[in-house]
Structure 1
Amino acid sequence: MRSLPRLRWPSSWFAPVLIALSALSTSANAEKSCEKPLYLTLDTGHMGVADLVADVLKRQHVVVTFFAANERTQVGDGSLGSHWAPWWKARAAEGHEFASHTFDHAYWRGDAGKPSAPAFRIRPSAGPREGQEFVMTAPEYCEEIGRAARRLQQITGKAPLPFFRAPGGKTSPQLLASARSCGYAHVGWSPSGFLGDELSSDKVSNAALLQQALRNVRSGDILLAHLGIWSRKDPWAPAVLEPLIVGLKDRGFCFKTLRDHPDYRDWIQRRP
């Protein structure tokens, strides 16, 4: 009986294989040893840096939670419109999570009703009533949250988290209670998690914002940035985003989505 021929693999094949196996091992170990988690969240904006942000997140193997509204964009229709639908679907495939930022980016301006019949003064920064101030009842505000959530599920094929973020983080106890009654918990951000991309670049440089975040961020913080801010001349993203992620990783931090945040796990599990 003749012996089988001995297989010889080209030496050029080994390096890529070893690198891939090493990367998988490193990723698995990092997941197991994630003792200093951070929760990076990104709100919509003009979407001018959306592709660049997505590239950074993919390259750095970081998953985030996106809070989305149908805001005006530099290219295409609104940020939840048909132009951007493939972008959101691609992010879902990469494992990111999604939640509502209200459909028309509707700012709370004050309470307008009674405790027995809550209502709120609202001013959207997008949509057909952009810039107008008017009153929404609690059910109407719930619909405003739910409309963005439904649109996210439609274009991503993935159920969004039962959260919302009020534009500007502006809320009242009545607003929060009304939202919770229709299934949405509000998620803000940590004081040191405000990454400053909304600030004037004439007054606060990207370098200063990077150093501030690297110095102040603590384990468990919820971080906030945007997919493009109209007023900032020197865009924060992606210029600060990648060095910030690399710097935080070097300090032993790791990144998770809000699905894994200990303060919100029970809320998620109670949702149908």
Structure 2
Amino acid sequence: MPLSTDKFPTPKPATGKTREPRRGLRPAVLASAAVCLALTLSGCAQVDTTSPSTVRAEAAHGAPAKLGTVDCRQAKCIALTFDAGPSEHSARLLDILKEKKVPATFFLLGKRHIEKHPELVKRMAAEGHEVASHTWDHKILTRISDAEIREELKRPNDAIERLIGHKPTLMRPPQGRTDSDVHEIAKELGLAEVLWSVTAKDYTTTDSALITKRVLANASRDGIILLHDIYDGTVPAVPGIIDALKERGYVFVTVPQLLAPGRAEPGKVYRP
């Protein structure tokens, strides 16, 4: 079976399956927890999000965090992120990133991906990339029970920890669909949610030139670029994307570097 993609289909009518209720939620909270019906290129339009610049500004009033080699308060930063791997294309992608000296953030799937390519997960971490979660089986979190949400988030956490020695701190909900129940469970598991500002819709084409064009047309400072290293046209587009953005003065960073000196807070949602 092909992997479901991060397309944004119109949600189907309810089928009678109900979400396991969370104790103590007020009607207003329940209303805000409904599945997002208005979705945009930058993710779920109805979710309260925090921008990287806000995180950095708020951190200026507290204890400084490790900045690494880039200070995005000064540099023109952008984050390259990849969903739904590892895949047979990931080794080539890692070669490109190493050659270009570009760090990335990988939101990995568990079933058929982490479990199939554990050596690539280890390599991502060893080469300085951020390893994060894209759930275990790409289930739409707003359509399943709380117990299922917890399972979808916990299993990749545990699998990643076994491979690289620590649990991820970031996750990306499939299709960008999230709600208050997802936020609460993510917080419980120590995960912040990361959406995006740029997508090439690489699940719709194998045309690498078109993928490159779509990314470059929407790139901006503090941007978070969403790509998928599972599709045939994506990895061949990456060198051109990197070179063109570097020519425009962008510095590539991981999502944690984009937020530094602040840090992502479990249970919150981040998007430029």
Q: What TM bracket, shorter-length normalisation?
A: 0.5 to 0.7
Residues 228 and 264 of structure 1: CA distance in aligned 2, closer, same or farther (over 3 Å): farther
CA deviation string 1:227-252 (max 9, x = no partner): 213xxxxx222221111001101110
Distance in structure 1 (CA, Å) of the matches to 2:251 and 2:239: 14
Instruction: Identify the residue that residue 114 of structure 2 maps to in structure 1.
Output: 80
Cα distance change, pair 160–227 in 1 and its aligned pair in 2 (3 A): farther
Please tell me whether residue 155 in structure 1 is matched to residue 163 in structure 2: yes
| 1:26-47 CA-partner distances (Å, limit 9, x unpaired) | xxxx847961111111112471
Matched, 1:105 2:115: no
Question: Partner amino acid for 1:107?
Answer: I
What is the alpha-carbon distance in structure 2 between the residues aligned to residue 153 and residue 246 of structure 1?
Answer: 33
The aligned residue for residue 250 of structure 1 is 247
Closer/same/farther in 2, CA of residues 84 and 259 from structure 1, 3 Å limit? same
Q: 1:168 to 1:264 in 2, by over 3 A?
A: farther
Task: Please give the secondary structure, in 1, of the residue aligned with 2:113.
Answer: coil
Q: TM-score, normalised by structure 2?
A: 0.65
8 Å contact 2:211–2:234 — kept in the other structure?
A: no
Aligned equivalents of 1:86 and 1:61: distance in 2?
A: 20
CA distance in 1, matches of 2:148, 2:71: 43
Do the aligned residues in 1 keep the contact of 2:77 with 2:251 (CA within 8 Å)?
yes
TM superposition score normalised by structure 1 = 0.65
Which residue of 2 is the match for residue 146 of structure 1? 154
For 1:169, the aligned partner's letter is G
Percent identity, aligned pairs only, is 28
The residue that corresponds to 1:186 in the other structure is: 193
For the aligned residues, what is the CA RMSD?
Answer: 2.6
Corresponding residue of 2:230: 228
**Match for 2:113: what amino acid?**
S
The answer to whether structure 1 residue 267 and structure 2 residue 264 are counterparts is yes
Closer, same or farther: CA 31–79 of 1 in aligned 2, 3 Å: same
Q: Distance in 2 between matches of 1:160 and 1:217?
A: 30
- Gaps (5+ residues) in structure 1? 1-29, 72-77, 111-120, 123-135, 230-234
SS in 2 for 1:105: coil
Provide closer, same or farther for how the CA distance between residues 150 and 194 of structure 1 changes in structure 2, counting only shifts above 3 A.
Answer: same
* Equivalent residue, structure 2, for 1:208: 210
* Structure with higher RCO (Cα < 8 A, 6+ apart): 2
Q: Distance in 2 between matches of 1:163 and 1:210?
A: 26
SS state at 1:261 partner: helix
Residue 263 to residue 185, structure 1, CA distance change in 2 (3 Å): farther
Partner of 2:124: 91
Contact conserved, 2:78 with 2:258, CA < 8 A, in 1? no
Looking at CA atoms only, which structure, 1 or 2, has the larger radius of gyration?
Answer: 1
Q: Which moved more, 1:166-175 or 1:249-258?
A: 166-175
* Partner SS for 2:264: helix
User: CA–CA distance in 2 between the matches of 1:264 and 1:147?
Assistant: 29
Structure 1 Cα separation of the partners of residues 195 and 181 of structure 2? 16
In structure 2, C-alpha distance between the alignment counterparts of 1:239 and 1:267, rounded to whole Å = 31
Mapped contact 1:259–1:268 kept (Cα < 8 A): no
For structure 2, which runs of at least 5 residues remain unmatched after alignment? Answer: 1-68, 268-272
The CA distance in 2 between the partners of 1:259 and 1:64, in whole Å, is 10
Do 1:161 and 1:259's aligned partners in 2 also have CA atoms closer than 8 Å? no
For the 8 Å contact 1:53–1:237, the answer to whether it is kept is no
